[in-house]
Amino acid sequence: MTSLADRQMTRYEPDTSAIAVVLDEAGTMTIHQNSRGNYYILTVHRRIKILQPRGIDAYGDASVTYVHEDGLSRVYDLRAQTISPNGEIDVVDPEAGIFQERIDDRYSRYVFSFPNVRVGSIIEYTYQMEVYNIFSPRPWKFRSTIPIRRSYFEFTNESRYTFSYFVQGLDYLSLASTEGDRQTYALDEMRFSVEGTRFRMERAAALRKEPFITALDDYTLRLQFQLSEDPLWAGTTFYDSWGKAAETLFDHRDFGKQYQQRSRHRDLVEAADAVISADAPPAERLVLAHRFLTQQVRWTGYEGLLTEEDLDKAFGRGQAKLAELQLMGVALLRHLGFQAHPALTSTRDHGAIITDYPFMNQFNYLFVAVELGPDQWQLVDFTDPLIFPGLIRESALNQLAFVIKDGEARWLQLNAPTAPSVLAVTGQLSATGELRGELTATRYSYDALADRRRQAGHELQATWQDRLPDDLSLTDFEITTAIDDPGPVQVKAGFSAPSYALRNGDFLYLSPSLFFTWDR
């Protein structure tokens, strides 16, 4: 039931600019076992007050996403309703108002719209989700882009397994009090308490995007559980340290065994041997290996750290998910004599990496780290034929990478390489004030990658025209490097401006500076 005060609320006093506020939300998660295996049931109940018209746009529609692949999870008992300020209730019709959508081969979602939503309405929904994967259950977030008045989460374990948990963002709060098993933390008006596996947040402030913030998730308060031990099997532990995580992944059938066991990638290396000379210099071999694999196999865009099939099967089909493709790269480079190792990281929109405990779901990207010598590494990314060795996807440059070096854990600092742009301009001014000249430019690193992509889309000349001052026009534009050249991108072109200088008698008046616009 909703209170009269909540129904009549017109603004949220702790944040009067809020477009909406989560009045109450509760989640419970219980780990179970049955004849099919281990699973958990997540129950969610959420109630949101709409305070401004923009709140209707943001929260008038809702969705619940789940993994349908292999019957891994299902959503049931989904109910939703709108409560008006006078207490009238409009229920979403479960047959006509809730729709199931297939997102891709792995994910589906239920979508629904709340009826008769207006400023002052309270929207409410609840659902249950059954998931047959207990290794890393869904996290619970206690902060959002709107204020949260109250949020509660409870974890119950009815299985034989042991779980660890971590509260990301707790270091931003200070310990305010301890009463028995309950610890309460505070930040301004926010209060967060922990009592066993019961967690409660009150008066959580809204998270707002700021220019210096890469991912809002870095600043949220997020609760994450992970399977840590099976006491039945002599206390078998799972990922209880970074060393154990590296060892487990290295020995995993769907990770390390894929590039260690030749039977899983024989077709791949035999096909590569036919076109890559073992006598080629190492730098050339690396480029040839990258060119071969990116031409033979296309990345589907799906992420994930474990393979779903052997490498040869994906190679034969010509397309692969992230783990299959990058581990093909590890296998191929090892075959060609390189010390290649898989490296795990988190893309910048996924959040910063927490090194306090090896929670594996914080990683969503995988690339290849080639060890050239002591503390010398070259990064290789096989997801794009234009990302040549030495670069990885720019979104993956997120400070740290976890390298699995033959079962040992290594941390690699990810720094964007310097990307100078060299521009040379010569010109001649005529007696009539016309400026004609020539420019040559050399672009490196990620600047070169951006221009290669424009070159592939036949947009590079237009981009260079946009970079010139408004009164200059390009002529005779030429790209002097091939698109598959792993070096810098070089261009040259002529330019002209018929009335660059203003003539007045025997004098020409002009600006001595040419200002170019650089986006990247």
Nearest to 344 by CA among 365, 372, 322: 365
pLDDT in tens, 378-389: 999 999 999 999
Note the pLDDT tens digit of each residue in 20-52: 999 999 999 999 988 888 999 999 999 999 999
Structure tokens belonging to residue 126 = 């609840």
Q: What are phi and psi of 322, to 5 degrees?
A: -55, -50
Sign of the Cα pseudo-torsion (334, 338, 341, 342, in order):
negative
* Residue closest to 228 by CA, chosen among 238, 219, 218: 238
Q: What is the pLDDT tens value at each position of the chain, 520 positions in all? A: 789 999 999 999 999 999 999 999 999 999 998 888 899 999 999 999 999 999 999 999 999 999 998 889 999 999 999 999 999 999 999 999 999 999 988 899 999 999 999 999 999 999 999 999 998 899 999 999 999 999 999 999 999 899 999 998 898 899 999 999 999 999 999 999 999 999 999 999 999 877 656 667 777 899 999 998 877 655 566 778 899 999 999 999 999 999 999 999 999 999 999 999 988 999 999 999 999 999 999 999 988 899 989 999 999 999 999 999 999 999 999 999 999 999 999 998 888 888 888 888 889 999 999 999 888 999 999 999 999 999 999 999 988 999 999 999 999 999 877 777 898 989 888 888 888 989 999 999 999 999 999 999 999 999 988 888 877 888 899 999 999 899 999 999 998 888 878 878 878 877 777 666 766 4
The token pair at 486 is: 């792993």
Q: Rounded to an integer, what distance in angstroms lies between the CA atom of residue 174 and that of residue 191? A: 10
3-state secondary structure of 131: strand
Q: Distance of alpha carbon 196 from its chain centroid, rounded?
A: 31
Domains annotated for the chain, with CATH where assigned, are 4-230 (2.60.40.3140), 242-414 (3.10.620.30), 421-509 (no CATH)
Helix (H, G, I), strand (E, B) or coil at 441: strand
Beta strands in 278-388 (DSSP E): 298-299, 319-320, 339-345, 365-373, 376-380
Residue pair 400/345 in contact by the 8 Å Cβ criterion: yes
- Cα distance from N-terminal residue to C-terminal residue, the chain: 55
This model's pTM is above 0.75? yes
C-alpha 397/C-alpha 389 separation (Å) is 15
Degrees (nearest 5) of the Cα angle 264, 266, 270?
A: 160
Tokens (6 digits) for 221:
């308060």
Element (H, E) at 155: strand 148-157
Task: Please check whether residue 57 is in contact with residue 87, taking contact to mean a CB–CB distance below 8 angstroms.
Answer: no
Question: Shortest CA distance to 198 belongs to which of 239, 165, 160, 176?
Answer: 165
